[in-house]
Structure 1
Amino acid sequence: MNPRQPTRIARRSFLTLAAGSAAAVPLLAACGSGPTGPESGPSGGVGDVDSVIPDYIPRDIVTPDFPSVDGSTPGYLSFPDEFVASVEEVPGRGSSFTAMTPLWSTVPPGLPDNSYMVTVNEEVNADFRFQITDGNAYGEKLQAVLAAESSVPDFVTIPSWTLPPRFGQAAENLFADLTPYLAGDKITKYPNLANISSDAWRCCVFNGKLYGLPYPSDLINSVIFYRHDLTAELGIEVAPANAQEFLDLALELTDPGANRWAMNDMWAGAQLMFRVPDKWILEDGNLVHRVESEAYRQALEFQAELFAAGVVHPDAVAGNEQQARQRFISGEVVLTPDGAGGWLSATREAYAGNPDYNQQPVPAFAGDGGTPVIFKGTPSNLFTFIKQTDDTERLEEQLALANYFAAPFGTKEQMLLEYGAEGVHHDLDEANVPTLNETGLREVARTYTWITRPPIVASQVQYPSYVEDFATWMAGVMEYAVDPVFYTQQIVEPPEFGALEQPFIDLEMDIARGRSDISALDAAIENWRSAGGERLREFYAEYLDEQ
């Protein structure tokens, strides 16, 4: 077999394959909720998903200055003169709730020493007690909590990348089925939740039932940024039309004598240039894994070219990615790949010390000079689940509270959740723009809005031009946005496949740094297939057959 050609499994051939393969039966039973075929998988068929998600009823409290285009993030250049109420009645009934949530920053004080939490609890008439866990250790804590039903909190936030194996079974055993309360037009009781997109809700369907509350995210996540302020000083235009022009730009930017290199490790950017999918692509109706694709090979070859050209910062060559953003902010590198959210994070970090700081996305281009392809990110990368209860009134109270937490931009509820109380946790300037004060910086952290939040918007008007630049950029690249093969489907791989891609992570680093030749990829692909890659393809083919 040619190692560069994947085994082909047509969309409709998997059931026949499974019937003739004894090895396929336990594989399927290990992940689904039963042995009855495709509809017992984690997400059920497409028709099933659409029948259990809520109707989408957009709610614009404030008209955006830069409207959403095909799902892009809208932008607001100002805060409203008056914040309006989006919830007519107090959502809580005086109940107490526990909530397990992650945090990737300093954990704030807990109750009773956190006036922000005291204020929000009083406002919603519910006593929330948060079990805040370091996001980097969240997966381990989550598995321990889910292993004992008695330890499961009332609300459990779960990032998609920490979903444990066989989660569909855990959802059925531990968490409330929200379908009877939210599906279709039942959502009209909760207008802020109805304002969340259908695709975000689809991500919350497991075993054909709606179990999760979504956490809406930006649809475009992978970006190559450049320091516009620095390139303007240098008189260098950043508008490459293909990979060769990108390399030429990198050579022009690199000046070790001035302590300036073109870029951090550009692996994520190389994959973007050459249209490498996150997991799978379809070729003639057949599943091809990313590592088998020609796009992956081309991205690897170009990555090696960049390293060989000496345009990558020496610390990035050494594998120090922890300081990648600092190198970009300091100007030691001019180009860096990042998520779309990194634009605001880096700007916020840099702005106080450098008001002229200006990062921008490199205009979309493809390595071969053709039409770019940008695979959409997951519309909801986190979900919150409600612990099973026989108390219908309590469950409806929890949904009413979630509706409060999903209050959109321009509302009193959203202001309280994001900034706390005026004069206590934040102050307003003459343009009605809030800024956290000392108390707010200490006490206000993402807690309630991990449970759910409104559709994401760009409204950080304190950073000149950021809102317009971000919103217009994303609206502009949506023409290149493509749904990945299993877009919005919840597929939790069996644990036996967990280590399949590790050899490629190592190989990517070795090929980039000249320690291995691109020819090593062929053997790695063959090893992947025989070590479980073919079985993984069979596993995903079941879900492909549902579409």
Structure 2
Amino acid sequence: MKLRMKQLAVLLFSSVLLLSACGGKGSGGDGGEAKTGAGDGKAAMDSTANITWINMLHTTSTPTGKVQSMIEEKTNTKIKFSWIPDASKEERINTALASNSLADIVTLTILDNSSVRNALKSGMFWEVEPYLDEFPNLATISEDKRRSASIAGKLYGVPFQKDMARNGVIIRKDWLDKLGLSVPKTTDELMAVAKAFTEQDPDGNGVKDTVGFADRNDLIYGAFKTLGSYFGTPNNWKVDESGKLTPEFETEGYAKTMDFMKTLYDNGYINKDFAVTAKTDQQEAFAQGRAGIYVGALFDGKNLLNLSKGVQDGMELVLVNNITSTGNESDRAIWAGNNGIGGLLAFPKSEVKDEAELKRILKFVNDLMDEEIYALMTYGIEGVHYTVDADMAVTILDNDLWKQEVQPFSSSRPKEPGYKIHDKDPLKVEASKLILENEKYAVLNPVYSLESETYTTMGSELQKIITDATYKYILGSLDMAGFKAEVEKWRKSGGDKIISEYEAAYKEAKS
């Protein structure tokens, strides 16, 4: 954002460099507006702001239509987006950081990237926490989310606020009803439902062609990690009062989860090829009536029901988020994906020259969190893209038009949960309700914002040892002694260094 007017050049998608949207800005005056001084801060806050923004694009094309102009009108800004296809974000962000080809706002969604973390720690971006409480919407960002989004104890941008914990269990309610089964509330009851769906012909076709669970080759976003929450598994790491860290795969909850999955596999209550099944195939298997239990994002219920149309037209679903292994409400838990953080809106000092400019940008981000602008960026323009009833339930008028003119802005919303306006679809309404309820039981990753050099350089390679060992245990080619031997291999190959580095970082962050 420059309060002085200036001609900006935007990198085209085909450019090798990410962009040069703010090139030459550091060279002093160029005949544009004068810099805003401390004495005219209110005038700066009320003035029209010219803002450049490096942002992510999760759709095939950039938005057309009038949504952007309406956002500009309501925020008193002129916005120049430089869209980066999500598939190439890492390469392009790295290039932009290395060449200092930045913009007033830079969307950083890969906080575990070493180049991003080093840039943040280097002082390239403004530290914003001292200013957040000056703005009503920014002030509502919770302490947990501020800490989770911090790097080395400092918050170098406004956190993207995502749903804290989206996952749960989706079950064929029509199959439960046909077999006279209740909605399960414990892992034992869930196992019993899986058994019945496999053995008692829930679709009534007289053929043994169904299983309980449809799962995929993903120990995080598939069934495993959510089931792990029900058995008390920590979210990646367990930390005690002294700051000692234990990896999740060395806990009792993780072992119980492996045993649960092994029982499903051994008895045929889960698709036998789950370890090599893609998400699309998993969802198709469920939608086509080959399985009756799906563990994943509760929002997936709507998509599963849509996929079933014309194939399983009698499908009814129930969404479940309150399963425990003990039956005790006090034991409810669900892992928090990325601690509810989707990255940062960061403000480089090379482009945002002083505190007055920073505050004007923060006001803009604060305004984006208003319900009216959230509705624009989520549903579009009322009467053009959607209608809304008295309960604030939205009906999209033209899905193709919405995809072209509105959907690209979804990656730009600083906050997603907690608004009154909502999708009219009843499954979506129920999913939103349960996901919001999940926040009370969300288990955070205690080292999410911390650094381990060994993890940065070797984490993925070392994690493969554990992932392979977990699958081998479930599939029966490894016993518990063999699994523990693989854990020891992980420790000796660098895991012990990861633990010690995280423990040191945790202690420093607490001091």
* CA–CA distance in structure 2, aligned partners of residues 325 and 91 of structure 1: 49
Cα RMSD over matched residues?
A: 3.5
CA contact (8 A) 2:110 2:343 kept: yes
C-alpha displacement of 1:352: 10
- Deviation per residue, 1:355-404 (Å, 9 max, x gap): 96433115311179893443444132322111212244432221111011
The match for 2:386 is 426
* CA–CA distance in structure 2, aligned partners of residues 275 and 405 of structure 1: 37
* CA–CA distance in structure 2, aligned partners of residues 423 and 299 of structure 1: 49
The match for 1:374 is 334
CA contact (8 A) 1:304 1:512 kept: yes
* CA–CA distance in structure 2, aligned partners of residues 465 and 530 of structure 1: 47
Structure 2 counterpart of 1:387, from 327, 342, 348: 348
CA contact (8 A) 2:120 2:151 kept: no
2:172 paired with 1:227: yes
Structure 1 counterpart of 2:396, from 403, 411, 436: 436
The match for 1:338 is 296
The match for 2:56 is 102
The match for 1:360 is 319
The match for 1:118 is 69
C-alpha displacement of 1:459: 4.8
* CA–CA distance in structure 2, aligned partners of residues 366 and 132 of structure 1: 45
* CA–CA distance in structure 2, aligned partners of residues 304 and 393 of structure 1: 59
* CA–CA distance in structure 1, aligned partners of residues 418 and 307 of structure 2: 20
| Paired positions, count | 445
Structure 1 counterpart of 2:92, from 136, 141, 153: 141
CA contact (8 A) 1:165 1:493 kept: no
CA contact (8 A) 2:65 2:405 kept: yes
CA contact (8 A) 1:175 1:386 kept: yes
Match of 2:234, SS?
Answer: coil
Q: Give the partner amino acid of 2:103.
A: P
2:233 paired with 1:276: yes
* CA–CA distance in structure 2, aligned partners of residues 348 and 93 of structure 1: 47
C-alpha displacement of 1:179: 3.8
The match for 1:416 is 376
* CA–CA distance in structure 1, aligned partners of residues 392 and 488 of structure 2: 60
Structure 2 counterpart of 1:528, from 470, 490, 506: 490
Match of 1:395, SS?
Answer: helix
Match of 1:417, SS?
Answer: helix
* CA–CA distance in structure 2, aligned partners of residues 425 and 250 of structure 1: 42
C-alpha displacement of 1:252: 0.6
CA contact (8 A) 1:407 1:454 kept: no
CA contact (8 A) 1:366 1:373 kept: no
- Deviation per residue, 1:9-59 (Å, 9 max, x gap): xxxxxxxxxxxxxxxxxxxxxxxxxxxxxxxxxxxxxxxxxxxxxxxxxxx
C-alpha displacement of 1:253: 0.6
CA contact (8 A) 1:427 1:436 kept: yes
Q: Which 10-residue stretch deviates more, 511-520 or 337-346? A: 337-346
* CA–CA distance in structure 2, aligned partners of residues 445 and 258 of structure 1: 42
**Quick one: structure 1 residues 492 and 323, their matched pair in 2 at CA, closer, same or farther if it must change by over 3 Å?**
farther
C-alpha displacement of 1:472: 5.7
The match for 1:250 is 194
2:220 paired with 1:262: no
- Deviation per residue, 1:76-99 (Å, 9 max, x gap): xxxxxxxxxxxxx99774444332
Match of 1:206, SS?
Answer: coil
Match of 2:82, SS?
Answer: strand
* CA–CA distance in structure 2, aligned partners of residues 341 and 134 of structure 1: 24
2:126 paired with 1:176: yes
C-alpha displacement of 1:449: 6.1
The match for 2:245 is 287
Q: Give the partner amino acid of 1:273.
A: Y
* CA–CA distance in structure 2, aligned partners of residues 201 and 453 of structure 1: 13
C-alpha displacement of 1:264: 2.0
The match for 1:163 is 113
- Deviation per residue, 1:497-528 (Å, 9 max, x gap): 32211111122222222333333212211111
Match of 2:344, SS?
Answer: strand
- Deviation per residue, 1:285-335 (Å, 9 max, x gap): 432112222322222232222111111124525433332233333332211
The match for 1:194 is 139
Match of 1:209, SS?
Answer: coil
The match for 1:324 is 282
Q: Structure 2 unaligned runs (5+)?
A: 1-42, 202-206, 216-222
Match of 2:69, SS?
Answer: helix
* CA–CA distance in structure 1, aligned partners of residues 234 and 250 of structure 2: 11
Q: Select the structure with the greater relative contact order (CA < 8 A; seq sep ≥ 6).
A: 1
Q: Which 10-residue stretch deviates more, 320-329 or 453-462? A: 453-462
The match for 1:402 is 365
CA contact (8 A) 1:157 1:451 kept: no
Q: Give the partner amino acid of 1:101.
A: N
CA contact (8 A) 2:466 2:490 kept: no
Q: Give the partner amino acid of 2:148.
A: C
C-alpha displacement of 1:157: 1.7
* CA–CA distance in structure 2, aligned partners of residues 223 and 458 of structure 1: 22
Structure 1 counterpart of 2:82, from 131, 138, 142: 131
* CA–CA distance in structure 2, aligned partners of residues 234 and 517 of structure 1: 35
CA contact (8 A) 1:497 1:536 kept: no
Kindly report which structure 2 residues correspond to 1:81-92, keeping only aligned pairs within 5 A, or say none: none
**Quick one: structure 1 residues 305 and 283, their matched pair in 2 at CA, closer, same or farther if it must change by over 3 Å?**
farther
CA contact (8 A) 2:379 2:396 kept: yes
2:97 paired with 1:153: no
* TM-score of the superposed pair, with normalisation by structure 1: 0.71
Q: Give the partner amino acid of 1:126.
A: T
**Quick one: structure 1 residues 348 and 203, their matched pair in 2 at CA, closer, same or farther if it must change by over 3 Å?**
farther
* CA–CA distance in structure 2, aligned partners of residues 228 and 115 of structure 1: 42
**Quick one: structure 1 residues 506 and 519, their matched pair in 2 at CA, closer, same or farther if it must change by over 3 Å?**
same
* TM-score of the superposed pair, with normalisation by structure 2: 0.75
**Quick one: structure 1 residues 115 and 469, their matched pair in 2 at CA, closer, same or farther if it must change by over 3 Å?**
closer
* CA–CA distance in structure 2, aligned partners of residues 355 and 126 of structure 1: 50
